[in-house]
């Protein structure tokens, strides 16, 4: 059960209308290494993970939904005052025709989100290494997004998200070590 507090995990501010940046941020909204994929991956994997680390997947998976909400807010704020001509110039003409200002799960190139983006092997160590890789790819994407905007206020929110990816990666690394130590301790002859 969740209790929803109606505020973002971290404040989202933008200083200007920027539909091109909004289009690029869709990568973290509906892309392979974006927040939706991460949330669903972790919350799905928790069913086959040992009890010692199940809480980690639950906690991080839930947090990824909070990050998804932050990305959605960024996209909304970056496009709320955009004209159809500005959206078209930013490469969002097709998006506008299909969705107007509604958010739709797709990546920056316009490909819709697909369940093939998420993995669940059923082997805890393999799944955790997948999770580490996903977090590192998301961290890199956030850095590239930061590099592509001169909006200091937007950069602030993106830097927060980038740093959370680092923390998640570290936590998954710790979980791998916990499970490896547990496997070694269970040797029975």
Q: Are 168 and 135 in contact (CB under 8 A)?
A: yes
Taking only the tens place, the pLDDT of each residue in 130-189 is 999 999 999 999 999 999 999 999 999 999 999 999 999 999 999 999 999 988 876 666
99 included as an active-site residue:
no
pTM: 0.93
pLDDT of residue 163: 98
d(CA 165, CA 170): 9
**Choosing from 135, 153, 174, 184, which is the catalytic residue?**
135
Q: Which residues of 105-144 are buried (b: 16+ CB within 10 A; e: fewer)?
A: ebbbeeeebeeebbebeeebeebbebbbebbbbbbebbee
135 included as an active-site residue:
yes
Taking only the tens place, the pLDDT of each residue in 2-44 is 687 889 999 999 999 999 999 999 999 999 999 999 999 999 9
- DSSP track, 152-171: HHHHHHHHHHHHHHHHHHHH
184 included as an active-site residue:
no
64 included as an active-site residue:
yes
**What φ, ψ does residue 106 adopt, rounded to 5°?**
-150, 165
**Choosing from 27, 63, 130, 168, which is the catalytic residue?**
168
The set of residues, in sequence order, having a beta carbon less than 8 Å from that of 118 and lying 6+ positions away, is 37, 40, 41, 44
- For the cut 70, the answer to whether the pLDDT of residue 46 exceeds it is yes
Q: Which domains, ranges and CATH numbers included, belong to the chain?
A: 19-113+120-185 (1.20.1260.10)
Helix (H) or strand (E) holding 139: helix 124-147
d(CA 32, CA 113): 7
130 included as an active-site residue:
no
pLDDT of residue 122: 92
**Choosing from 64, 136, 163, 177, which is the catalytic residue?**
64
5 included as an active-site residue:
no
Taking only the tens place, the pLDDT of each residue in 49-85 is 999 999 999 999 999 999 999 999 999 999 999 999 9
């Amino acid at each position: 059960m969740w209790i929803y507090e109606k505020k973002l995990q971290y404040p989202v501010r933008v200083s200007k209308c920027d539909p091109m940046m909004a289009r690029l941020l869709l990568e973290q909204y509906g892309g392979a290494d974006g927040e939706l994929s991460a949330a669903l991956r972790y919350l799905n994997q928790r069913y086959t993970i040992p009890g010692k680390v199940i809480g980690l997947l639950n906690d991080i998976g839930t947090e990824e939904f909070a990050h998804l909400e932050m990305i959605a807010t960024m996209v909304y704020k970056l496009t709320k005052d955009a004209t159809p001509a500005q959206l078209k110039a930013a490469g969002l003409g097709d998006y506008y025709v299909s969705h107007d200002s509604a958010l739709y799960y797709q990546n920056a190139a316009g490909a819709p989100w697909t369940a093939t983006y998420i993995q669940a092997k059923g082997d805890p160590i393999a799944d955790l290494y997948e999770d580490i890789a996903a977090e590192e790819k998301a961290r890199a994407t956030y850095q590239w997004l930061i590099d592509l905007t001169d909006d200091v206020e937007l950069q602030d929110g993106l830097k927060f998200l980038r740093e959370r990816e680092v923390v998640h990666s570290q936590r998954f690394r710790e979980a791998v070590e916990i499970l490896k130590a547990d496997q070694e301790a269970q040797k029975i002859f």
